[in-house]
Amino acid sequence: MTTKLRKMIPVLAAVAAFMLVAASGAQAKLVELNATSTVTPSPQATKFLADNGVSVAATGAATFEEGAFVFPIAGGFGNTRTFSGLLAHNGGLKFTREDRSFVVRQFVAVRVRGASVLLAQLPGLRGGCGHLKSALTRFGVTLKGAPRKHPKAHRALVRAARNYCAGGRVIVLARLTNLGKDVTYNGALLTADLRLSAGAAKLINRLAGKKAVKAGALLGSAESRAIVVN
């Protein structure tokens, strides 16, 4: 990963947080977040991958610890009442079968009522930027028309979003369902189930060489220990 790409994700989240806090008015406060997210694969996912000879390994800043994948949160923002928001992560996953593989990386979790998703990059490919633009729009951030109050922050956000899109094809990796939160003194424990998207199912099936899995399959459970940045 390039230095430019490593720096981009926290910029994307931090600038968006700055703009949202400034625009929040009487709404619940939006705050900057960091820490880590942990994804524990479901028994079903472990089985269908193993049955089809597909292995999964952590890449970049991600690690595999005690049966779960751990991803550092590079930056993010959340509503202090609902903890709806965006969490951008470093690291990724590499799926391999024999001499074929693909990587998904730079996960962006978008938690919003009715449309929570996990976005990811496919390096070396292009397209899919509409997914990121749609995610930002849900939080009142537009990539067109700089606001009068914060034009510099807006321009930085546009550059960050374009850099993210340039880093690879943006896909919806999974739908986030069964959302939960446990608010703590200085943050929250955010939980969700990960349901495989149709696009991600196609990638795995292409790698496996057959229809091994369907959209909606339970990939696993995720926990994000989000800490408010003071």
Three-state SS string over 127-145 comes to: CCHHHHHHHHHCCCCCCCC
- Residue-wise pLDDT for 93-119, tens only, equals 999 999 999 999 999 998 887 789 999
The residues spanned by each domain of the chain are 3-228
Q: Where are the alpha helices (DSSP H) in 63-210?
A: 129-137, 151-166, 198-208
Q: Is the pLDDT of residue 211 over 70?
A: yes
Structure-model confidence comparison of residues 230 and 127, the more confident one: 127
Residues 6+ apart with CB under 8 A from 120: 92, 104, 105, 106, 107, 108, 170, 171, 173
- This prediction has a pTM of 0.84
What phi and psi, each to the nearest 5 degrees, are found at residue 130?
A: -60, -30
Checking if the pLDDT of 24 tops 50, the result is: no
